[in-house]
Amino acid sequence: MYVCEGYPHMIITIFPQLEKMNTSKVSCLLFTISMILISHSLMAAVSGESLYDIVCREMKKDEPYSLHPRALDCQDPQVFKDDPRITSAKNYLDLSWFTLEFAEKKAKEGSKYMLQIAKEHPTPHITYCANYIYKSANLIFTYAKYHLFDGGEMSAHNELSSLLLELKYCEGVLLEARIENPPINKMVALLNTIAYYATKHIN
């Protein structure tokens, strides 16, 4: 098992093929990853903005995926008080990983909440959202997280894009049923959107 020094969350057990690679190939791969991380950090330092601030600004100005007035504000300092790693990430790989890790936790909470709403309001659309979309959100975040390390950044990006549209659909379903979209659902949607934009910067 190989560990990237300084990145305990990136234990390379997700790369089982490394066990079959010789030392020089492993060193080359780790060096390449290090250069990507350093370049992202330098770009942020030059601009004077945190990477999270850059992603938040992109979210707000990009019309297809912009946050509407009912969404959580990515610039609200209270939003990520439970996981400050997200707003202090030094490279886009870290930002994506930390966001997806937090999203996994929140998606589980959101799924339980939606199942309760479906029991109280068992309409076909709400039931679909509870039993399919919110149940699958956690798996999508997990798959996207590990795609960051197997050359599948674009796959992760596309999965997050599809989930973003599905979460917006469920918000519309709740709105139509005159049910307030709960804060946990808004958090899941925000984390999904942040991860979507953060993964765009990984290359």
Mean pLDDT score across all residues of the chain: 79
d(CA 157, CA 203): 12
In a domain, 75, yes or no: yes
How sure is the predictor about 178, in pLDDT bands with cuts at 50, 70 and 90?
Answer: very high
Paired tokens of 75: 């610039």
- Residue 79 forms part of a structural domain: yes
Locate tokens 């899941």: which residue?
188
Q: If residue 174 lies in a helix (H) or strand (E), which one and from where to where?
A: helix 153-176
Q: pLDDT band at 166, cuts 50/70/90? A: very high
Task: Report the sign of the C-alpha dihedral through residues 59, 139, 123, 114, in that order.
Answer: negative
Sign of CA dihedral 118, 124, 130, 134: negative
The confidence score (pLDDT) of residue 125 equals: 96
pLDDT digits (tens, 9 = 90+) for 38-76: 544 454 445 567 899 999 888 888 755 454 556 778 888
Helix orientation angle between 92-120 and 23-47, rounded to the nearest 10 degrees: 80
- Residue 127 structural domain: 49-199
Instruction: Decide if 17 is inside a domain.
Output: no
Q: For residue 157, what is the domain's CATH number? A: 1.20.140.40
Is residue 142 situated within a structural domain? Answer: yes
- Cα–Cα distance list, 27 to 32, 34, 45 (Å): 9, 10, 27
* pLDDT at residue 152 tops 60: yes
Domain count, the chain: 1
3-state secondary structure of 170: helix
Q: Is residue 13 scored above 50 in pLDDT?
A: no
φ, ψ of residue 148 to 5 degrees: the values are -60, -20
